[in-house]
Amino acid sequence: MQYNQSRTMIAALLFLTIPIECSSKRKAVVLSLGAVLIKSRFQEVLVQAPGKPIDEKLYHLENLRADNLVVMRKRRIGYMRELNKKKQKWLKNGHGTYSQLADEKEFFEISNKCPDIVCHFYRDGNECCRVVDSHLNVLAGKHIGAKFCKVNLEKSPFLSKRLRMKVIPTIVVIRKGKIEDFIVGFSDLGNCDNFGTDMLEWRLAQSGVIGYKGDLMTQPVMKRKFFENRAQMNMRDGYEPDGSETDSHD
């Protein structure tokens, strides 16, 4: 009796997870698969704890009423509609792509439209900036909730002076309309130029501007490339030890 009640209630919850436009045939398949999983779970519980009540989740499901399920479904539909509206607004403002800004004037215009921004300040011909570009281009399509863009530092004299940018590349993170964080050079990205996209994703997520499924307390594992006399090579080429370039323009 207890199993049948749990099966009925969980099947009803499974119905809530099925897209509204899904066909009747596909709904039936999902529900039948759910029934198999429920039976398997029920048997596991009986083996592990015979004679004891089923876990609290099953107990809660047994006591759900039909009107509760209707409310839950309405909330889900409302949430999906609201999320879709946000996505449409994001795409309208250029989210989902890594865009080039003409100058700092356009940067301020974007700031008025988009509360969450990841902006890369770069200089033409800088190899380290190209590395950052390749990673941000990937992340822009993955995290459409934030606006990913870049602007030439030489075309941003006011911001360069106001934000005291001395090292290229510099990534400025804006969260809810305010400057939240800076990623200066590669010192936070493994201190080398061959870090992975997941490393930059992890670092950006620490500021809260994008979501992250992993553990923010644990830095992603990376494979380092070792070079002979790397420090001397950096000094000769005008780079900082972390691979970034010092801005000589005040």
One DSSP character per residue, 22-44 reads --HHHHHHHHHHHHHHHHHHHHH
- Which pTM does this prediction carry? 0.61
Whole-number pLDDT of residue 161: 92
Whole-number pLDDT of residue 201: 96
Whole-number pLDDT of residue 136: 97
pLDDT digits (tens, 9 = 90+) for 171-200: 999 998 899 999 999 999 999 999 999 999
Tokens representing 72 are 């839950």
CA–CA separation, 220 vs 199, rounded Å?
Answer: 6
Q: Is the pLDDT of residue 25 over 70?
A: no
Q: Is the pLDDT of residue 215 over 80?
A: yes
CA–CA separation, 204 vs 196, rounded Å?
Answer: 13
Tokens representing 63 are 């006591």
For 48-58, what is the mean pLDDT? Answer: 55
